[in-house]
Amino acid sequence: MSRTEVERVAPAELSALRHALAIARRGPSNGPNPRVGAVLLSPEGEVLGEGWHRGAGTPHAEVAALVDAAARGSDTAGATAVVTLEPCNHTGRTGPCSEALIAAGIGRVVVSVADPNPVAAGGAQRLRDAGVDVQTGVLADEGRELLGAWLPSVERGRPFVTLKLATSLDGRVAAADGSSRWITSEVSRRHAHDLRAEVGAIVVGTGTVLADDPSLTARNAADELHGQQPLRVVVGHRRVPPGARLHGPGGELLTVQSHDPAAVLAVLAEREVRHVLVEGGPTLAAAFVRAGLVDEVHAYVAPVLLGAGPPALADLGIATIGDAVRLTTRSVLPLGPDVLIVATPEPTSTSSKEH
């Protein structure tokens, strides 16, 4: 935020925006809609109402804040709406928030992040056209961080893809006899379940289904299913056995009879999936990497040496070190005896392959 922008934002508005960012996190992280928070302030800087988006089909944060203000008996004429994402300007499952704010007599709107969705964007301009003072780009880094995978998913027109790897120190995902339970520790596996709870879909290949019989569920520390379960996606032409654990409790099971990662993501985009976790074996992992469709890698690395067994990735067709897919490390997190490395591919390694 520039110095001029800082001068245009009152301390009460900055405080309200930080609160809006905090309450927005109460909303679901794995639905088709973004996490959004809103706080309404009087001209004197007092809180009139607040709200957050609770999931698809429910009132947006701005409308929830207006409802809260009405319940408190607050007059919103001339008030300031502080929101984490630009108010929408379209009618979907709910009406346009820009119109709701105008009807409520809001005089000023402070926005953290502009909406990149061409369907919903335009709220800021609609408000300005109605005479509302609008300030955008306030605490934008914090706003983008809140939106997580939703933001790049909308910007790229496809689900954001996280590739999960769980390997030995020498890069093996199983021993020579195929056994893989357990390379990583219980601490790492619990962290991985928390990651599953944040995504809209988990993708594996038929080879993993036949070899490991996974359930692909998200469970808490008590080994209970989380309230919201990701879609379970099996890629390939072989059939999921009738007795497979994938038919048990958990998210909906979807089979995609294709080996093309772009086709898989297109199917999931139609279902409004914003974040995909690829958990398949070396073949599926390599296919997504080769296609340039991996946005982030979560590598759980255990201090174990196997010396043989399948590697984390199948052949990428790389013959020389100059063609290596290079990544930028974003974080390193110790997990019991293991380490989680979160990294993102460098633009030069994927931009030419992006579908």
Q: Which residue numbers are catalytic?
A: 62
CA distance 36 to 33: 9
Answer yes or no: are the C-beta atoms of 143 and 21 closer than 8 Å. Answer: yes
Q: Which amino acid is at 240?
A: V
Note the Cα 350 to chain centre separation in Å: 20
Q: Looking at the chain, how many residues does it have? A: 355
Regarding beta strands 275-278 and 201-205, do their DSSP bridges make them parallel or antiparallel, or are they unpaired?
Answer: parallel
Q: Which amino acid is at 84?
A: T
Q: Which two tokens stand for residue 79?
A: 């008030």
Q: Indicate the burial class of 217 (C-beta count within 10 angstroms; 0-12, 13-18, 19 or more).
A: buried
| 99: Cα within 13 Å, side-chain hemisphere | 7
Q: Which two tokens stand for residue 224?
A: 């209970």
- b/e code 102-116 from CB counts within 10 Å (16+ = b): bebebebbbbbbebb
Residue 178 Rama label (left phi>0; alpha psi -120 to 50; beta) = left
Query: What does each C-alpha distance from 338 to 20, 179, 344 come to in angstroms?
Result: 35, 19, 20
